Structure 1
């Protein structure tokens, strides 16, 4: 599978107004996430060039053991994460790091930083868009590009591989901890960041997402009544498309466009089926 998948307008890339690096969630991959964002990509049309990148770590079924409570079935765990047992067995499920409760450091984070460093060397991105673990990684990259020397392996010839992003979209993100993240987050990051939080997200609960908001010095927070997914109703698609085109614009909240009971899009898993997980 190619590490990079591009889904842009029918026009040549040079005419694209905004190029966005897109990072998938745990147990997804670039292809899966591109399909999940199909409606948003269509809404953006020729104005946004989405570049989806695969996490370097291929997951096996054992990587999901212990992530949920003993009462949760493997099927429910995989479903909640947007994966399937067949997908895991075919090596299609990927991650930016793996969770190990006996280690304080996210396993595989250095390899993912190297992967993204090599992508960033090749072209210029105006912003970054991430979901769940990918949202967490997106925020970490924003902070690192602002202070690249705190992690020397990320440098290229002693310099950052890319200028700081102009914006970040973090959907169901959380604050990553560990030796490397703690050094990167020694000071709040300044990149304008849109934090999208599901009020009924039982995988990344609101409290965890707000810990990331707390170290985001230029944050905008939008909430929806759904769970662990990118909201996809029309009001949200229009809002996100407008934000991606010009994050500095005064864009009305999507919650103003329709009632909160109907503004999320996808059915939300029940809490009993999808307990909070450590990604």
Structure 2
């Protein structure tokens, strides 16, 4: 039997989301890509408690909520499949990435078992996607990432970081700085109050081989038809000459949605 020609993309959800929620939010894009792209959604290792969520909200803004983070379905006391998760936990000053090493090792094991063309992350997942992309460029800076002394996976062909940022910690600095060169598409929202431009620049400024695309909405992955078509074309040919998504018609709302029914 011939091998599948689909490109395999590792999908990393945002803070307080989980793989099931992110998969649902990306449903329109998944449908658009069909069999061309195989999306592999992964749960972050850390289940978040109400205390963790409250700490994160205080560290972002006084008005933050699960809705703001694009995770209003997440709940800590009902369906386990909807429990909010994170790639790491944060303190109020955002100077500690507690549990980040566990997430790196989880992704090391996933990458070691299969081949992925690229990685796609949203919010904290975008930071994690960029971090893994950078780490695959110089895996020796974090020796536990190695498998039998070798990288678990070749460097990725591309990274998509939607509403991404550079986390602050000594480990992250050793991986990211002075820069990383994996071709990276940065998708940013002009009205994003969670990932404001100043914060997103902490990642784009160290991304050497970058492409930045802005949408008119907030903290979500845009999925109007023009963005679905753009992302599909980019995922199929990330190094090609893919035109920017056309502006939305004036008769349509400025902000997009990640699924037909709910904001992402």
**Equivalence for 2:76:** 88
Structure 2 counterpart SS, 1:170: strand
**Equivalence for 1:175:** 166
**Equivalence for 2:33:** 44
Counterparts of 1:223 and 1:86, CA distance in 2: 27
How has the CA–CA distance of structure 1 residues 260 and 251 changed in structure 2, closer, same or farther, with 3 Å as cutoff? farther
**Equivalence for 1:236:** 227
1:1-279 alignment, distance < 5 Å: 14-68=3-57, 72=62, 77-84=65-72, 87-90=75-78, 91=80, 92-101=83-92, 104-256=95-247, 258=249, 262=253, 264-266=255-257
**Equivalence for 1:8:** none
Give 1:20 shift.
Answer: 0.2
Counterparts of 1:250 and 1:103, CA distance in 2: 37
Counterparts of 1:95 and 1:242, CA distance in 2: 29
Counterparts of 1:112 and 1:205, CA distance in 2: 25
Counterparts of 1:257 and 1:247, CA distance in 2: 23
Structure 2 counterpart SS, 1:28: coil
How has the CA–CA distance of structure 1 residues 247 and 65 changed in structure 2, closer, same or farther, with 3 Å as cutoff? same
Q: CA RMSD in A?
A: 2.3
Task: Flag structure 2 segments of 5+ consecutive residues without an equivalent.
Answer: 259-264
Give 1:89 shift.
Answer: 2.1
Q: Check the 8 A contact 1:232/1:264 in 2, yes or no.
A: no
How has the CA–CA distance of structure 1 residues 114 and 97 changed in structure 2, closer, same or farther, with 3 Å as cutoff? same
Counterparts of 1:95 and 1:68, CA distance in 2: 13
